[in-house]
């Protein structure tokens, strides 16, 4: 199994999802090969909930990570779960067209480019 998928699966174990029960882990590889992981952290208001992808990215940036290469996202759904729209936007702005691997607990994976999930992103080029 890919080390990034393993890290995402491990991060999922730390998820704080008392309301939805939907636990997600993410692992992001930076330009130097370091892996930064994160899990979703729910809040009773839901709107203040942080997704695993954003937690991993913000953690990576706060630790000096740059030049991101790829991300793995692991959830406990039979159907592979892509990042939400907000995460797609943040990933695009910080990472560009990186490789995204979706994984589940059954060992199923799919790898695609972020542009396949987010074909017409808004970014600084529009400002």
CB 99 within 8 A of CB 73: no
Catalytic residues: 53
With respect to CATH, is domain 3-122 assigned 3.40.140.10?
A: yes
- Cα Rg, the chain, nearest whole Å: 14
Q: For residue range 4-63, what is the model confidence (pLDDT) as tens digits? A: 999 999 999 999 999 999 999 999 999 999 999 999 999 999 899 999 999 999 999 999
CA distance linking residue 89 with residue 96, whole number of Å: 10
What is the pLDDT confidence band of residue 1, given thresholds at 50, 70 and 90? low
Q: What is the dihedral of CA 86, 88, 93, 97, to 10 degrees?
A: 180
Instruction: Output 87-90 pairs: Cβ under 8 A, ≥24 positions apart.
Output: 87/51, 87/53, 87/54, 88/114, 88/117, 88/118, 88/121, 89/118, 89/121, 89/122, 90/53, 90/54, 90/57
**What pTM did the predictor assign?**
0.95
Q: For residue range 59-83, what is the model confidence (pLDDT) as tens digits? A: 999 999 999 999 999 999 999 999 9
Q: What is the dihedral of CA 42, 36, 10, 82, to 10 degrees?
A: 60
Going by C-alpha positions, the residue among 76, 127, 65 that lies closest to residue 98 is 65
């Amino acid at each position: 199994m890919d080390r990034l998928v393993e890290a995402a699966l491990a991060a999922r174990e730390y998820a704080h999802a008392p309301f939805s029960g939907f636990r997600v882990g993410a692992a992001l590889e930076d330009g130097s090969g370091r892996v930064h992981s994160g899990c979703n952290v729910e809040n009773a208001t839901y709107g203040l909930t942080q997704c695993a992808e954003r937690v991993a990215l913000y953690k990576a940036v706060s630790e000096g990570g740059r030049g991101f290469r790829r991300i793995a996202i692991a959830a406990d759904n039979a159907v592979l779960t892509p990042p939400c729209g907000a995460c797609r936007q943040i990933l695009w702005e910080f990472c560009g067209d990186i490789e995204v691997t979706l994984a589940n607990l059954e060992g199923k994976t799919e790898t695609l480019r972020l542009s396949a999930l987010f074909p017409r992103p808004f970014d600084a080029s529009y400002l």
